[in-house]
Structure 1
Amino acid sequence: MARFLSRIVRNHVVPFIPRMNTRPFSSSTISADPPREHMVSSAAILNDPPPVTPPPPSSPTGTTGSGRTWGLLKFGAIAGITSAVGTAAYVTYAYTVDEVDQKTNTFRALSNYSVGDGASSLEKYKAMLYSTAIKVPAKTIELYIDIRRSIEDHVRGFTEPSSDKLLPDLHPQEQHVFTLVLDLNETLVYSDWKRERGWRTFKRPGVDAFLEHLAKFYEIVVYSDQLNMYVDPVIERLDQKGCIRYRLSRSATRYQDGKHFRDLSKLNRDPARILYVSGHALESSLQPENCVPIKPWTLENDDTALLDLIPFLEYIALHRPADIRPVLASYQGRDIAAEFIERSKEHQRRMQQQKQHGHFWRR
């Protein structure tokens, strides 16, 4: 009831007081019939709910502080993991696992750092702290080396040639025969794709005569980095007369540095009797000393590279040098076919001079 009376006084009496004090006192301002105040029933006042004052917002200091701390921890963890992954990726790219093992061996040995029995307690305590601080990164490096060795051992099954002997043993009567290894794409054929006709494979000019003639002197092997589902049908259409004795595809290559290399050491042949002919010989073989580079073929109609190379290869097969590698080294950086012709002409000129000199003394 006290609250009820207090509210009536505050709403109806208090506003009236300032109006009386502020108006000038004059009879002219007094009305005989003053306006009546609007009366509000007590029931309405009692039934109206009291105004609800929202509680003051609680201070978010504690939540913000903990959230900020948690955010910093997450940022630090992400930064640390990113840094570790980046470092591991760079090390994996730049160094072999044996080089990493060798370079970090001294650092990992520091995790077992200790002082002699005669050292003071402070020195022993410092040695213990130092060893403990080094132990975590040392163990991390050892874990990285173990994981990387395991992965590389597993991957090696996919990167190494499918066998240490890619070709069967030579027949005893063919031990003197040289092995002519030929690349496929841009050496014997060229595959081209166009929207209106799809894929088409073209034979290089002179490839039929090249294979048919040299099959009389060499064991011919096609060694490609393409899948066998591509190599087999191409060779079947290319080699109608069976001049190519063996075909090797991608599974026989060595995958290294993102490329498939021909590893001639896995052919089960004497490396002194192997010649590798390719439009990309030096870039695709692990044995550049056995390479016979020729111009890559990309559909030029006037190409004669294969035919030009026949005299040199025939000469090698007939004269059978003890080791082909020094012979190829003498042609390094030169067009072998053109250089061989020049050397042949020079040899004939000398022989002609010797004949003339002999005729002169016989007279």
Structure 2
Amino acid sequence: MASSIAIRSRLVPSLLKLRSRNPRRALFSTEASSSSSNPSSKVSSSQQQSLFSDFPPPNHLPPPEAAAEAAVGKERKGLKYLSNGLIWAFTGATAAVGYTSYAYTLDEVNEKTKSFRESAMKPPPPALDSSSAIDKYQAMLYSAAIKVPARAIEMYLELRERVEEHVKGFTEPLSEKLLPDLHPSEQNVVYTLVLDLNETLLYTDWKRERGWRTFKRPGVDAFLEHLGKFYEIVVYSDQMDMYVYPVCEKLDPNGYIRYKLARGATKYENGKHYRDLSKLNRDPKRILYVSGNAFDTSLQPENCVPIKPYKLESDDTALVDLIPFLEYVARNGPADIRPVLASYERKDVAKEFLERSIEYQKRMQGQRQGRLWRR
């Protein structure tokens, strides 16, 4: 009896110490032992185990700071997507407006969008009584979505019209009459020969080692001297005044060129400077425009005499080759030069005129021989 009491007194402190180290294990072990003796305790034990397995211990939950940072990160991500979407939408709208302004005139845009704007501004048809609330809401939403782009197009047309009216003062020639009136003795007698400057009478080139250089076209001196006897010569260039006047003074020291017109006398349209021959205060029936880019730089193609552009070719004879045709026109004086130029069908006038002259001489020579044989 005394020995058993001594053993118990030794075991009790060790058991208490073990229980204090792992209370859950001790709890489960006691419950397990009790459940073996009591069947009803098995249910409570399984429920407690499932309860602990479903809910993790408190030390596994994220701290409040981490949850707040995650929420802020999601909000920033959403704002980033929204800002990128707005940037892309603005870029697309700007590109569409720029392309439309470049590719189409104001009248073309107005005509192409007229039917869409009219249909968008019409009031929507009244909803039927049998329509559901969702159908009515969809119809109202569709009408509002159509009116927004239609109104944007109208605002674009109004703004572009104002801008073009403002710019028009800088795009039209300086005057309706760019040249003074002809002398009464020259009216209906003298033709006006309009000459382009660059790539027609001369060529301007730039190189790094020497900078800008201007080269006279071969035959330009003889061209001006000979045709100055028959024509009123006018230089019409799209360059600035500070370039045109000094260059023409060096190009024509004898004064065969009567008038010089620079960029201020051109019409600016679609990104180009055009020569408007209708503003010269001359009869259009008696105007010839000679240029290396005649049909691309004039608003009156019916008055154009095309010539090969000068690109510093050493064997260029285009100006000299054109003298016979221009002299023939001045001497014969057709009532309207435009049908004469149209007969050449935009071909090389100098070459075509030479071929026609040779053919005419052959035909006349054949007629003379026929007359001699008949005699």
TM-score range, shorter chain: 0.7 to 0.9
Change in Cα spacing, 1:139 to 1:268, as seen in structure 2 (3 Å) is: same
2:147 corresponds to 1:138: no
How many angstroms apart in 1 are the aligned matches of 2:81 and 2:127? 45
- 1:66, distance to aligned residue in structure 2 (A): 2.1
1:158 Cα deviation from its structure 2 partner: 2.2
Write the distance in 1 (CA, Å) between the matches of 2:316 and 2:212.
22
Query: Which is further off, 98-107 or 123-132?
Result: 123-132
Q: Aligned partners of 1:307 and 1:79: how far apart in 2?
A: 59
TM-score (structure 2 length as normaliser): 0.75
2:334, 2:96 → 1: CA distance?
Answer: 51
Alignment of 1:48-59 (within 5 A): 57-59=65-67
1-structure distance, mates of 2:101, 2:158: 13
Alignment RMSD:
2.5
| 1:321-341 Cα distance to aligned partner (Å, 9 max, x none) | 122122112222532212212
Structure 2 residue aligned with 1:81: 90
How far is the alpha carbon of 1:125 from its aligned partner?
Answer: 6.5
Q: Which one of 333, 346, 349 corresponds to residue 336 of structure 1?
A: 349
Q: Which residue of 1 aligns with 2:229?
A: 216
Q: Is the 8 A contact 1:159 1:254 kept in 2?
A: yes
1:234 CA displacement: 0.6
Distance 1:64 1:320 in 2: 86
Offset of residue 316 of structure 1: 0.4
Q: Secondary structure at the match of 2:273?
A: strand
Contact kept in structure 2, 1:114 and 1:128, CA below 8 Å: no
1:33-71: CA deviation from partner (whole Å, max 9, x where unpaired)? xxxxxxxxxxxxxxxxxxxxxx86341232123222222
Question: Match for residue 166 of structure 2?
Answer: 154
Q: 1:113 to 1:338 in 2, by over 3 A?
A: closer
Residue number in structure 2 paired with 1:297: 310
How far did 1:124 drift? 7.3
Please list the CA deviations of residues 180-214 of structure 1 after superposition, one character each: whole Å capped at 9, or x if unmatched.
01111121122233444433322222211211111
Post-superposition offset of 1:218: 0.9
CA distance in 2, matches of 1:246, 1:313: 19
Higher helix residue share: 2
Counterpart residue identity of residue 73, structure 1 = L
Aligned residue type for 2:364: M
Conserved in 1, the CA contact under 8 Å of 2:193 and 2:288? yes
Distance 1:117 1:303 in 2: 77
Q: Secondary structure of 2:151's partner? A: helix
Alignment of 1:1-363 (within 5 A): 57-59=65-67, 60-114=69-123, 120=129, 122=131, 128-176=140-188, 177-361=190-374, 363=375
CA distance in 2, matches of 1:253, 1:71: 50
For 2:305, give the aligned amino acid: V
Instruction: Give the Cα–Cα distance (whole angstroms) in 1 for the partners of residues 98 and 211 of structure 2.
Output: 39
